[in-house]
């Protein structure tokens, strides 16, 4: 095929996909967020992913789609999401769902605010900066859940792992999760954590503090990926920050 014709067809296809709200890329680190993550996991030989705030299992399914075949442990407090996790993990012997609980810096019980879009549910009150950017995320109810720490959860799972990655997506409560992992964090090779650039939940710690905290624990910031954007103005509100031990 003539090169100019090939380019014309590609551009026409790209234009049609963009008009439909779809953007297609090659699956390579230069153009794909998932490919970048997979390359990073391979570089550090990650053999276990602990997914704290797993919701419906979206991240685990993404890992499998990207080619990750190692162990996964999902931790989720919301009853409906935990039930879906349990269903999804059936048939995947390397995917384990921990008993339903929230994770923080102490043990007990706590109230979880249930968001309309599920993924924005948090134990912290939501601020207008979040709900204005995503009206579907407004809270619709509450649920009482058990609260524990990673120092109590992780010993059960880390024994057979040489290179675990801790993924934390707890909607503003990430700082408390880290504080409850003081004994276990030295055993982790990598951390993937959602960080906020502006306050989205009442009392949350922002990105600078999270980076400083993890650097003090011996981690190096490896990558940043936008995950929550205010589509009215293009401002990035939250990012996934990936860290590995130097």
- Domains of the chain, first to last: 32-245 (3.40.50.150)
Query: CA distances (Å), 152 to each of 103, 104, 142, 184, in order?
Result: 10, 11, 25, 9
Higher pLDDT, residue 78 or 28: 78
Per-residue pLDDT at 7 = 46
> How large is the average pLDDT for residues 226-232?
94
Query: CA distances (Å), 115 to each of 61, 102, 192, 193, in order?
Result: 22, 15, 23, 20
Q: Is residue 90 predicted with pLDDT exceeding 60?
A: yes
Q: Residue 211's closest CA among 193, 235, 228, 184? A: 193
240 — pLDDT class (breaks 50, 70, 90):
very high
Residue appearing with tokens 């499998």: 64
Residues 219/168, Cβ–Cβ less than 8 Å:
no
Q: Could you tell me what percent of the chain has a pLDDT over 90?
A: 85
13 — pLDDT class (breaks 50, 70, 90):
low
128 — pLDDT class (breaks 50, 70, 90):
very high
> How large is the average pLDDT for residues 93-120?
97
28 — pLDDT class (breaks 50, 70, 90):
confident
Separation between Cα atoms, residue 73 and residue 49, nearest integer Å? 6
Residues 34/25, Cβ–Cβ less than 8 Å:
no
Q: Is residue 141 predicted with pLDDT exceeding 80?
A: yes
> How large is the average pLDDT for residues 69-94?
96
> How large is the average pLDDT for residues 84-95?
95
Separation between Cα atoms, residue 156 and residue 159, nearest integer Å? 7
Q: Residue 164's closest CA among 32, 30, 240, 52? A: 52
Q: Is residue 15 predicted with pLDDT exceeding 60?
A: no
Per-residue pLDDT at 21 = 57
Per-residue pLDDT at 4 = 47
Separation between Cα atoms, residue 151 and residue 159, nearest integer Å? 13
Separation between Cα atoms, residue 29 and residue 88, nearest integer Å? 28
Model pLDDT for residues 160-188, shown as the tens digit of each residue: 899 999 999 999 999 999 999 999 999 99
* Total Cβ atoms within 10 A of residue 4: 8
Q: Residue 137's closest CA among 206, 231, 60, 59? A: 231
Per-residue pLDDT at 47 = 98
> How large is the average pLDDT for residues 200-209?
95
Residues 201/171, Cβ–Cβ less than 8 Å:
yes
> How large is the average pLDDT for residues 81-99?
96
Residues 146/136, Cβ–Cβ less than 8 Å:
no
Higher pLDDT, residue 23 or 35: 35
* Total Cβ atoms within 10 A of residue 87: 12
> How large is the average pLDDT for residues 43-57?
97
Mean pLDDT of the chain, nearest integer: 91
């Amino acid at each position: 095929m003539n090169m100019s014709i090939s380019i014309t067809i590609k551009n026409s296809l790209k234009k049609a996909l963009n008009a439909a709200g779809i953007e297609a890329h090659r699956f390579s680190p230069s153009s794909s967020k998932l490919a970048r993550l997979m390359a990073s996991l391979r570089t550090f030989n990650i053999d276990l992913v602990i997914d704290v705030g797993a919701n419906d299992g979206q991240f685990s399914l993404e890992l499998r789609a990207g080619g990750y075949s190692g162990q996964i442990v999902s931790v989720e407090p919301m009853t409906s999401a935990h039930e879906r996790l349990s269903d999804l993990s059936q048939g995947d012997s390397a995917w384990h769902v921990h008993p339903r609980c929230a994770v923080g810096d102490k043990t007990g019980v706590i109230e979880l605010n249930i968001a309309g879009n599920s993924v924005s549910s948090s134990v912290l009150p939501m601020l207008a900066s979040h709900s204005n950017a995503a009206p579907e995320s407004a809270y619709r109810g509450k649920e009482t859940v058990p609260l524990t720490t990673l120092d109590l959860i992780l010993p059960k799972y880390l024994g057979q792992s040489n290179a675990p990655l801790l993924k934390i997506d707890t909607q503003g409560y990430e700082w408390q999760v880290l504080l409850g992992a003081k004994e276990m964090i030295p055993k982790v090779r990598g951390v993937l954590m959602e960080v906020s650039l502006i306050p989205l939940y009442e009392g949350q710690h922002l990105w600078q503090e999270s980076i400083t905290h993890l650097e003090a624990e011996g981690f190096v910031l490896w990558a940043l990926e936008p995950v929550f954007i205010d589509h009215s103005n293009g401002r990035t509100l939250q990012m996934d920050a990936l860290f590995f031990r130097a």
